[in-house]
Amino acid sequence: MTAKRLGRQTVALSDPVSVLSFANIGGKQEARGPLAGYFDELNSDAYFGQKSWEKGESAMQQFALSRAMEKGGITAEEVDCVLAGDLLNQCIGTSFGLRDFKIPFYGLYGACSTMGESLSLAALLIDGGFASIVAAMTSSHFCTAERQYRMPVLYGNQRTPTAQWTATASGCCILSRRGDGPYITHVTCGRIVDLGIKDANNMGAAMAPAAYDTLSAVLRETHTTPEDYDLILTGDLGELGRDIVADFFREDGIDLGRRYTDCGLLLYDREEQDMHAGASGCGCSAAVLSGYVLGGMRAGRWEKVLFAPTGALLSPTSSFQGESIPGICHAVVISSKKEN
């Protein structure tokens, strides 16, 4: 065994895995937000030079992977595999975006938790000795998500106050046995949690129970407290979901404090940009991590981060059939020091 299982859900890596490099790309709204300076590229063209929004999302993934490899000083031939997915049916944003790289590929679907899922599996592959360099990435696009899950953008339908804005962004992290960090030290696999929320315009409430379940597992199985982390970051719950998670912990007698926030509250200026409850989409947490957070860790802003992106495991079909919305949350502990 090259990894140590701490409990039902959490594994401590025997040899913490380094984030060799990272890159991200965003669109017009991301360029107007407070994290604009943490992107490798921002593009005001929603098509990203392509003929459709879906092709544009594929182009974002192409850029994110290429830029991350460039920053890490590696080639596609050196990457053992790429773990990636998106929000579109059959993950077409990813499969069409990555087909020309000729890198072994595992397609993932964890909805907005996909960055946590890909990082978790990539770290486990490397720690287990099955790979040396793995790319973990995902993306989302406001226009492609609206077309698939809700109403086409051109309809101009009104959004409810609990609705969130799907980020047009992609983020990629390349993990390796070598490198100066930050390091992934622990991985916690989330469980499917469903408390019966059916409102597809209230994703924060649907996903918050899963975030609470996974964060509780991390604290319980690693024998840590919120005070052991400089930053606890969920995504993408928005304002309502963030508050629900904090309330759940408060009922347990645990105050997450100001160290806890959500990627959906960081990406945009909600007063200036009218994003209602905040941001959502796979690309939100991926882009926030692959710029603001990891860049901040390398700059010494934080030493230990608990990153726990969340996903709503619904589809248009399940919503039309009156199904509730299952949630999932996968977490990784990221440290500036190579220690468990």
Q: What is the CATH number of the domain that holds 190?
A: 3.40.47.40
Query: How do residues 56-99 score in pLDDT, each as one tens digit?
Result: 999 999 999 999 999 999 999 999 999 999 999 999 999 999 99
Q: Where are the alpha helices (DSSP H) in the chain?
A: 28-31, 53-72, 92-98, 114-127, 142-149, 203-222, 238-251, 263-266, 270-273, 282-287, 294-298, 316-320
pLDDT digits (tens, 9 = 90+) for 162-201: 566 689 999 999 999 999 999 999 999 999 999 999 987 7
Per-residue model confidence (pLDDT) at position 199: 85
Q: Are residues 39 and 138 in the same domain?
A: yes
Residue 154, in any domain of the structure: yes
Confidence of residue 155 (pLDDT cuts 50, 70, 90): very low
Whether cis (ω within 30° of 0) applies to the bond prior to 45 is: no
Same domain membership, residue 144 and residue 40: yes
pLDDT tens-digit series, residues 24-49: 999 999 999 999 999 999 999 999 99
Q: What is the pLDDT of residue 108?
A: 97
**Residue 340: its pLDDT value, please?**
57
162 and 76, same domain (yes or no): yes
Residues 193 and 298 in one domain: yes
Rounded Cα–Cα distance for residues 313 and 20 (Å): 30
Whether residues 19 and 164 share a domain: the answer is yes
Do residue 130 and residue 208 come from a single domain? no
Domain boundary among 176, 198, 224: 176
Buried b (16+ CB within 10 A) or exposed e, 157-172: eebeebbbbbbbbbbb
Q: How far apart are CA 78 and CA 103, in angstroms?
A: 9
- Full residue range of the structural domain in which residue 37 is found: 3-176
Average pLDDT estimate for 104-129: 97
Same domain, yes or no: 134 and 196: no
> Residues 278-315: pLDDT tens digits?
778 899 999 999 999 999 999 999 999 999 999 999 88
In a domain, residue 340? The reply is no
**For the chain, how many structural domains are there in total?**
2
